[in-house]
Amino acid sequence: MSCLLILVAFFAASTFAAALPQWNWSWNWGSQKQLRFTRAGTFQIAIFEDLHFGENAWDSWGPQQDINSVKVLNEVLDAENQQLVVLNGDLITGENAYKFNSTVYIDQIAGPLVQRGLPWASTYGNHDSDYNLSRSDILAREHRYSNALTTQMVFGREAGVSNYYLLVYPSYGGQVPCLILWFFDSRGGFYYQEKDADGNRVGQPDWVDQSVVNWFQQTNARLSRQYRKTIPSLAFVHIPTNASQALQTEAGVDPNYQPGINDDYILAQQAQGWCPDGRNDGTCEYGAQDVPFMQAVTSTPGLMALFSGHDHGDTWCYKWNGVLPGMTVDGNGLNICFGQHSGYGGYGTWTRGARQVLITEEKLRHGVVDTWIRLETGDVVGSVELNKTYNHDYYPATPDTHTSCPTCNYTIVTPMPGTKRR
């Protein structure tokens, strides 16, 4: 069943239903918050990741970075025609946060979105949790805006916060969704206002928890039963899984077949820095706790692509096929993509931008989506079609371009007042 079939049904219905609603908006402002394909049968998502607001508020360059990050939001949103914005983690740099105003930065991010009437949905990243910054408080701050669709569907200390799904409905009405968007919390960083016996911050595990994997599988099965079909889906998570690292190191990223920057080598992944037994005392590189999540995403019919951030210097998409050397999980052809570093905070000077994902009702029938990266310079790079032959289709390589913050003077970098130099 596709959105097109539903569309045809509605054309037929319109001959006797005079007052067919003219869905001009992708966003229904009524009491029911509904995402919908445009009348042209398209739904475009702009993914901003690693905005890293709120760095060094006490040095002049900190606030200057944020002014420039707001410009990135404005430039990219004006250049594209998105119906939804995804903020894919690390909205704020938590280690620089003051407890009394740590979530106020959400207002700066929300500004350009509210001005344009755009709905948005977030996942939280490892920097969104720290001694002075709480994920739950970020969610509460987002909820001051009716455009915020971020929510919490799984509870408990181990689950994280930003685990939920959104349904997208077809262009010509109806109450049968034709696309599911899944959002997962890969956690990380440090627990809010917690210190151990030695006065150190308490680390939060950095993978998608088993309770979330269970919820995902049960909820997906329930949705399939309820609508009597497999609904195509896309997923978002801040930290990529071990599969991304294995593709990078074992299969290799080719600039023409997986176009994008590949500068973060070897990339950082979920369960990094943790031991299999749950210790994170610096003795282990990787604990493999992301295996259940990898098994879940590769055994979900209709899941077309998984988008992550975290590694600012990696921007490619890969089709994950087969069992890679050293791995146990069998890739089922799932596309896994990085986005583009969007903020002036956070490491790296790669040209800021945002990955775009264009879903059309027509291509959705074949499980195919188009994606590209829009840079703040106006350039478009890495435009690919995630179809059956992705990995074998030849594309132009993405130039490895950089920019620096034009208004930031990085000469003076001082430690946070009131804290000891580390």
User: Contact positions toward ligand NAG, by CB under 6 A?
Assistant: 24, 38, 57-58, 98-101, 104-105, 131-132, 242, 245-246, 249-250, 288, 291, 326-328, 385, 387-389, 393, 409, 411-412, 418-419
Structure tokens at 394: 């030849």
Min separation Cβ 63 and ligand NAG, Å: 6
3-state class (DSSP) for residue 316:
coil
| Alpha-carbon dihedral 270, 273, 279, 283, rounded to 10 degrees | 150
Nearest residue by C-beta to ligand NAG? 326
Helices (H) and strands (E) in the chain, counts: 8, 16
For 272, which DSSP code? B
Return all residues near 373 (Cβ < 8 A) that are at least 6 apart. Answer: 260, 315, 339, 340, 353, 354, 355, 356, 380, 381, 382, 383, 398
Nearer to ligand NAG, 20 or 57 (CB): 57
Would you say 91 or 154 has its CB closer to ligand NAG? 91
CB nearer to ligand NAG: pick between 144 and 222 = 144
User: Considering beta carbons, is residue 112 or 164 the nearer one to ligand NAG?
Assistant: 112
Nearest-approach distance from CB 202 to ligand NAG, in angstroms: 12
User: Quick one: 160 or 259, whose CB is closer to ligand NAG?
Assistant: 259
Question: Residue 150 or residue 289: which is nearer to ligand NAG going by CB?
Answer: 289
Report, in Å, the least distance between residue 153 CB and ligand NAG. Answer: 27
Angle between helices 105-115 and 61-79 (to 10 degrees): 20
- Smallest separation, CB 326 to ligand NAG (Å): 3
Report in angstroms how near the CB of residue 26 gets to ligand NAG at its nearest.
7
Closest distance of CB 258 from ligand NAG, Å: 14
Instruction: For residues 411 and 378, give the distance between their C-alpha atoms in angstroms, rounded to a whole number.
Output: 29
In 3-state terms, the chain is what percent helix, strand and coil (to 5)?
A: 25, 25, 50
